[in-house]
């Protein structure tokens, strides 16, 4: 068990946790039992992460259980690929949280489809109580009748006829849409969800878990409350749009005169995040139209994309805690997410030197062939991270941006005749700018103050700028993928055509010069290329072809842009 499982963080308080805490104090239930019920029709996104952290977090904080349940009642839209990705994503996000009680110890998640037999029996029980009927209206007619608050002409069928027709629906006697099973509640209820809603429909389709066994499938509203009941869920937490379904949730359970305590539904505001889209349908569109490389493209707001980009589960969980749980829908500023990521990476990232856009410099007074091994600090935020050696030689690369031939005022990096400190090394002075025939700067000739490195006579001498560098001979050439926000506006969804706001510069691929220690970079480590950004190895990186992804820049360049306008 890792440290993070032992010590439960100060949990945030919110209205749902307050309700749970009250129930715990009253000993209302033997234990608290929540669930996270994704439909396996797409990959999980950061909105789901909020719900996972809430449901698993409550189980963890109150010594309860949380089930991961595939809400798989719609066979035509679902797929095992999604089941697998959901399991992987949830496991990753709650890693270090997955202590004994968490329901997901991951032999097998729960499936609503495992309960199809029981749910079918519950439907028969409703029919026998005169609370459900088989309806022959077409799907369109049903919608229209419900919209108008009109009763179905088939509403008063006898129990016997309903039982017979429902059994024949199950036996496959009728084509899709020919008949349905509907709850008998109130055709003209002010709440449309109570206007005799569908509870079973005919769908001749194979299911990824149950194969060809069924040709009728329960509707979400019917399956969901019953799955909650079957699993012994106490707090069924969902997003606000289900508030209007709650009377139906309660009606179904109460109508069945069930022996055990009934689950209760609670709703909270879903996460909407700036500069992205969140609906599975739109994310799928980005994937299918190849506007991104896949569901786990590091620019996607999916959990797998965010993970691939190099974000840690701790950062995502902190984000979920920071945003809180409320009843009010609103858009969360993406800066809140980025702040959580930076805060986490600042603590853990190993500092390394790397040059993204190299400009060669030659230290004229440093002997050819000489190599010095200099000490560099691995992480100033973590004294246990120690030091490493970095090679220094006569020819180096610095960042092209760190030199300006005609510098603006207050430019404290390198300029003709000016001095700058090379991080962990010497103060250098630029003596000469070498250009090619086209006038492009190809090299700088410099001299070093050879007493100015750590331990030297002029080590304490101050110059205004410090820049990073790598030794030309020792640097490794590596593919670096510079990711940025996928959309250019905070609300790409606002007027429908979200694709017109795709950021054309959301990915730039370059070959960068990295300090040689990075050839042993590990996928579980995080790196800060000093003065630049945080990076992590891509999942496709290999010793033969190292690939780094930029997780996030050190500072928010977008905020600076916004100020300029």
Q: Which residue's CB is nearer to ligand ATP, number 166 or number 321?
A: 321
270 is catalytic: yes
- CA quadruple 123, 124, 126, 130: dihedral positive or negative? positive
> From the candidates 246, 280, 415, 453, which is the catalytic residue?
280
Active-site residue, 388 included: no
For ligand ATP, the closer CB: 38 or 310: 38
Report the interhelical angle of 116-128 vs 159-171 (nearest 10°): 160
Rounded to a whole number of angstroms, the minimum distance from the CB of residue 199 to ligand ATP is: 18
User: Interface residues for ligand ATP in 152-191 (CB under 6 A)?
Assistant: none
Measure the CA–CA gap between 45 and 394, rounded to whole angstroms.
49
Distance in angstroms (rounded) separating the CA atoms of residues 277 and 492: 7
Q: Sign of dihedral through CA atoms 457, 460, 466, 471?
A: positive
CA distances from 87 to 19, 84, 308, 388 (A): 29, 5, 16, 38
Member of 170, 203, 270, 429 binding ligand ATP (CB under 6 A): 270
Note whether 314 and 349 are within 8 A (CB): no
What character string, x for contact with ligand ATP (CB under 6 A) and - otherwise, covers 514-543? ------------------------------
Taking the complex as a whole, how short is the minimal distance between the CB of residue 87 and ligand ATP, in angstroms?
Answer: 13
Q: Which of 131, 270, 388, 413 is catalytic?
A: 270
Decide: residue 64, CB within 10 A, 0-12 exposed, 13-18 middle, 19+ buried. buried
Name the residue with the smallest CB distance to ligand ATP: 47
* Euclidean distance between CA atoms 237 and 276, whole angstroms: 24
Site string for ligand ATP, 188-227 (x = CB under 6 A): ----------------------------------------
User: How far is it, in rounded angstroms, from Cα 230 to Cα 488?
Assistant: 46
146's enclosing H/E stretch is helix 139-148
Nearer to ligand ATP, 48 or 201 (CB): 48
Instruction: Write out the binding residues for ligand ATP, residues 229-248 only, by CB under 6 A.
Output: 238-239
What phi and psi, each to the nearest 5 degrees, are found at residue 345?
-70, -30
Report the residue number, 323 or 362, with the smaller CB distance to ligand ATP: 323
Count of residues of this chain found to bind ligand ATP when the rule CB under 6 A is applied? 14
Specify whether the CB–CB gap between 184 and 141 falls below 8 A.
no
Q: How far is the CB of 21 from ligand ATP (least distance, A)?
A: 21
CB atoms under 10 Å from CB of 441, counted, come to 14
Can you tell me which of 104, 169, 202, 271 binds ligand ATP, judged by CB under 6 A? 271
How many Å apart are CA 115 and CA 50, to the nearest integer?
A: 27
The DSSP symbol for 234 reads S
Contact positions with ligand ATP (CB under 6 A) in 439-468: none
To ligand ATP, the closest distance from the beta carbon of 77 in angstroms equals 8
Pairing of strands 507-514, 527-529: unpaired
- 39 catalytic, yes or no? yes
Is residue 234 a contact partner of residue 23, using CB atoms and an 8 Å limit? Answer: yes
Q: Least distance to ligand ATP from the beta carbon of 156, Å?
A: 34
Beta strands in 400-440 (DSSP E): 419-422, 427-435
CB nearer to ligand ATP: give 11 or 377: 11
Using CB under 6 A, which residues numbered 24 to 63 contact ligand ATP? Answer: 37-39, 41, 47-48, 50-51
Residue 97 or 527: which CB sits closer to ligand ATP? 97
- Residue 51 or 447: which CB sits closer to ligand ATP? 51
Q: How far is the CB of 271 from ligand ATP (least distance, A)?
A: 4
Smallest gap from Cβ 71 to ligand ATP, in A, equals: 6
Nearest distance from C-beta of residue 47 to ligand ATP, angstroms: 2
Q: How far is CA 432 from the centre of its chain?
A: 49
Counts of helices then strands in the chain (DSSP H, E): 14, 27
Nearer Cβ to ligand ATP (50/453): 50
| Residue with smaller CB distance to ligand ATP, 272 or 463 | 272
Cα torsion 291, 295, 298, 299: sign = positive
What is the closest distance, in whole angstroms, from the C-beta atom of residue 92 to ligand ATP in the complex? 16
Q: Which of 39, 372, 479, 491 is catalytic?
A: 39
CA–CA separation, 47 vs 279, rounded Å? 9
Within residues 410-429, the interface with ligand ATP by CB under 6 A covers none
Contacts to ligand ATP from residues 108-137, by CB under 6 A:
none
Dihedral sign for Cα 288, 292, 293, 298, please.
negative
Q: Which is nearer to ligand ATP, 34 or 528 (CB)?
A: 34
Least distance in angstroms from the C-beta of 239 to ligand ATP: 4
Q: Sort 547 into a burial class: Cβ within 10 Å, 0-12 / 13-18 / 19+.
A: middle
Q: Is 278 in the site for ligand ATP (CB under 6 A)?
A: yes
| Burial classification of residue 177, based on how many CB atoms lie within 10 Å of its CB (0-12 exposed, 13-18 middle, 19 or more buried) | middle
* Stretch binding ligand ATP (CB under 6 A), from 25-33, 119-127, 270-278, 375-383: 270-278
The answer to whether the beta carbons of residues 470 and 354 sit under 8 Å apart is yes
Q: Which residues have a catalytic role annotated?
A: 39, 270, 280
Which residues contribute to the site for ligand ATP (CB under 6 A)? Answer: 37-39, 41, 47-48, 50-51, 238-239, 270-271, 278, 280
């Amino acid at each position: 068990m890792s440290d993070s499982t032992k010590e439960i963080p100060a949990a945030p308080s919110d209205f749902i946790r307050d309700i749970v805490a009250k129930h715990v104090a009253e000993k209302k239930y033997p234990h608290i039992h929540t669930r996270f019920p994704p439909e396996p029709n797409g990959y999980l996104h950061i909105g789901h992460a909020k719900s996972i952290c809430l449901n698993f977090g409550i189980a963890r904080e109150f010594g309860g259980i949380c089930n991961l349940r595939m809400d798989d009642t719609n066979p035509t839209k679902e797929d095992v690929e999604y089941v697998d990705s959901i399991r992987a994503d949830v496991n990753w996000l709650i890693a270090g949280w997955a202590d004994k009680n968490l329901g997901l110890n991951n032999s097998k998640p729960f499936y609503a489809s495992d309960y199809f037999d029981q749910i079918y029996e519950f439907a028969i029980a409703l029919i026998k109580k005169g609370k459900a009927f088989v309806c022959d209206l077409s799907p369109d007619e049903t919608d229209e009748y419900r919209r108008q608050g009109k009763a179905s002409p088939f509403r008063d069928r006898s129990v016997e006829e309903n039982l017979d027709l429902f059994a024949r629906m199950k036996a496959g006697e009728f084509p899709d849409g020919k008949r349905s099973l509907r709850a008998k509640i109130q055709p003209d209820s002010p709440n449309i969800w109570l206007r005799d809603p569908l509870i079973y429909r005919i769908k001749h389709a194979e299911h990824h878990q149950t194969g060809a066994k069924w040709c009728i499938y329960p509707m979400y509203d019917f399956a969901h409350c019953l799955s909650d009941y079957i699993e012994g869920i106490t707090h069924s937490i969902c997003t606000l749009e289900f508030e209007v379904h709650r009377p139906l949730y309660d009606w179904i359970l109460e109508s069945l005169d069930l022996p055990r305590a009934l689950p209760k539904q609670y709703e909270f505001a879903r996460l909407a995040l700036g500069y992205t889209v969140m609906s599975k349908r739109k994310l799928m569109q980005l994937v299918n139209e190849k506007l991104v490389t896949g569901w786990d493209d590091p620019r996607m707001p999916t959990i797998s994309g965010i993970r691939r980009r190099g974000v840690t589960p701790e950062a995502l969980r902190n984000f979920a805690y920071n945003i809180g749980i409320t009843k009010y829908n609103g858009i969360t500023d993406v800066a809140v997410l980025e702040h959580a990521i930076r805060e986490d990476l600042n603590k853990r990232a190993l500092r390394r030197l790397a040059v993204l856009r190299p400009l060669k410099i030659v230290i004229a007074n440093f002997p050819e062939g000489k190599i010095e091994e200099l000490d560099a600090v691995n992480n100033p935020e973590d004294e246990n991270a120690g030091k490493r050696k970095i090679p220094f030689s006569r020819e180096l690369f610095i960042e092209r941006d760190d030199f300006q031939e005609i510098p603006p005022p207050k430019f404290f990096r390198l300029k003709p005749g000016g001095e700058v400190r090379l991080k962990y090394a010497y103060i250098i002075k630029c003596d000469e700018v070498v250009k090619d025939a086209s006038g492009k700067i190809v090299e700088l000739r410099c001299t070093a103050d050879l007493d100015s490195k750590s331990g030297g006579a002029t080590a304490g001498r101050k110059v205004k700028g410090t820049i990073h560098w790598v030794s030309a001979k020792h640097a490794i050439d590596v593919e670096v993928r510079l990711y940025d926000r996928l959309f250019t506006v905070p609300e790409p969804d606002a007027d429908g055509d979200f694709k017109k706001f795709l950021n054309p510069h959301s990915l730039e691929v370059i070959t960068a010069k990295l300090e040689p220690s990075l050839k042993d970079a590990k996928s579980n480590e995080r790196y800060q290329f000093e003065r630049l950004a945080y990076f992590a190895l891509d999942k496709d990186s290999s010793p033969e072809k190292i690939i780094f992804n930029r997780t996030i820049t050190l500072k928010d360049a977008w905020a600076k842009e916004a100020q300029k306008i």
